[in-house]
Structure 1
Amino acid sequence: MVLRKAQSFDNDYDNGYHFVSLNNNNSPQATRPIMTTLTTEQRSAQEQIYRSHHGWLHAWLSRRVSCSELAADLAHDTFIRLLRKPRDLQTPGQARSYLKVVAENLCTDMWRRQAVEQAWLDVLSARPEATDISPEEHAVIVETFCEIDAMLQRLPERVGQAFLMSQLEGLTYRQIAMHLGVSERSVKSYMARAMLECVLIEANFNDAALC
């Protein structure tokens, strides 16, 4: 059961359990339901926040992204985040401040994803041979790139640099060590950490495929 945009929460609750999808894209993760348990008080509070602030949030997002339909999707995802992790937002000011922060983060993620996808499309268009990729394969590839991009954002700067030098430029560990001004042992440590993150990404996708 997925929470639909611009609708009351009432139709999506059943005995205190709520099934939600975290995003609206075509990635494997988007199809996995997340179940959250809400108390009666939490349910009432979340419904009140939704009714009081959905219109305001949609209007704010419409100005931010210059598209009413996209703003509706982002507002939907913002309230999904709130449902997933309810907050004690006692005043209208607190509620709007929190919703604005979540919505802004979602916008940033969306723009980053669009940049990653455009870079991938540029690579495809530059290939001399025709590349036949299904929409499903395209979605998985873009999602993988987004996960790697997010991984690089999480890693310390030198770890990310070492990973890119190795995987994109094909440099040896010794060459990377010279570029970064560190020991070869340090480079091995950097790469081990980066590859562990890659293994975790692959495991997440395998889990998603089984759901």
Structure 2
Amino acid sequence: MHDFPVAECDIARRQQTLTALYSDHHSWLHGWLRKKLGCSQHAADLAQDAFVRVLLLAEPHNIQEPRAFLATTAGRLLIDGARRRKIEKAYMQALAIQYEDAGMPDPATIHVALQALERIALMLAGLSDKSREAFLLSRLDGLTYSEIAAQLQVSSSTVKNYISSALVHCYHTLHGADPL
């Protein structure tokens, strides 16, 4: 029998799993990322971010293939970073055009707007290409369903289905519910 409660055993097991995972695979992941990125510092940052994601897992001991898991996690972080930079660049270009004469907004306003744009981009990333395009044409460009149907070369009822599924997806994303 153990002298400490089960919860302490679970915590100790979790710590052992995480320590072993880090010590066994950190150098490998850093080297893998360094080869991909050509920058040791950026690779180190991404490796740390990947391990932070592992720390957030409920049951890290269930990872069957640690290197595959870490490579996939790091790859997703690379994609997220590229998406974030693309959004930031587009927003900054739009701001430069809009505020050419009046001057740029303060950095805090820019930061809040970039965070909102990033959340919207992540939310829309889960949609099919056609649903996302129909939704954006409707919400941003103000096109009618028939105008969208003509542009996408589909029926108006298909556009209605695209937008309905986009709205349901957005609702579930915002409210943390599982999509049906």
Query: What band does the TM-score fall into relative to the shorter chain?
Result: 0.7 to 0.9
d(CA) in 2 for partners of 1:111 and 1:59? 20
| Deviation of the 1:175 alpha carbon | 0.7
Aligned to 1:6: none
Matched, 1:138 2:97: no
Q: Which has the higher contact order (CA 8 A, sep 6+)?
A: 1
Aligned to 1:178: 150
Matched, 1:40 2:25: no
Letter in 2 for 1:79: F
Unpaired runs of at least 5, structure 1:
1-14, 17-37, 205-211
d(CA) in 2 for partners of 1:187 and 1:157? 12
- Out of 158, 167, 170, the residue aligned to residue 139 of structure 2 is 167
Contact 2:135-2:166 at 8 Å conserved across structures: yes
| Deviation of the 1:199 alpha carbon | 5.1
Decide which structure has greater strand share: 1
The change in CA–CA distance for 1:130 and 1:65 in structure 2 (over 3 A counts) is farther
Contact 2:124-2:170 at 8 Å conserved across structures: no
| Deviation of the 1:141 alpha carbon | 1.7
d(CA) in 2 for partners of 1:140 and 1:200? 23
Matched, 1:95 2:66: yes
Aligned residues, how many? 166
The structure having more radius of gyration, on CA atoms, is 2
The change in CA–CA distance for 1:129 and 1:173 in structure 2 (over 3 A counts) is farther
d(CA) in 2 for partners of 1:97 and 1:185? 42
| Deviation of the 1:97 alpha carbon | 2.1
Matched, 1:123 2:94: yes
The change in CA–CA distance for 1:40 and 1:198 in structure 2 (over 3 A counts) is same
Task: Indicate the percent of aligned positions where both proteins have the same amino acid.
Answer: 34
Letter in 2 for 1:120: Y
TM-score using structure 2 length: 0.76
TM-score using structure 1 length: 0.66
Cα deviation, 1:135-168, whole Å, max 9, x if unaligned, reads 3322222222222222332112221111122234
d(CA) in 1 for partners of 2:114 and 2:169? 17
| Deviation of the 1:59 alpha carbon | 2.5
Cα deviation, 1:115-139, whole Å, max 9, x if unaligned, reads 1111111112223333432333222
d(CA) in 2 for partners of 1:47 and 1:194? 42
Aligned to 1:34: none
Contact 1:159-1:193 at 8 Å conserved across structures: yes
Unpaired runs of at least 5, structure 2:
1-6
Decide which structure has greater helix share: 2
Partner secondary structure for residue 104 of structure 2 = coil
Aligned to 2:22: 50
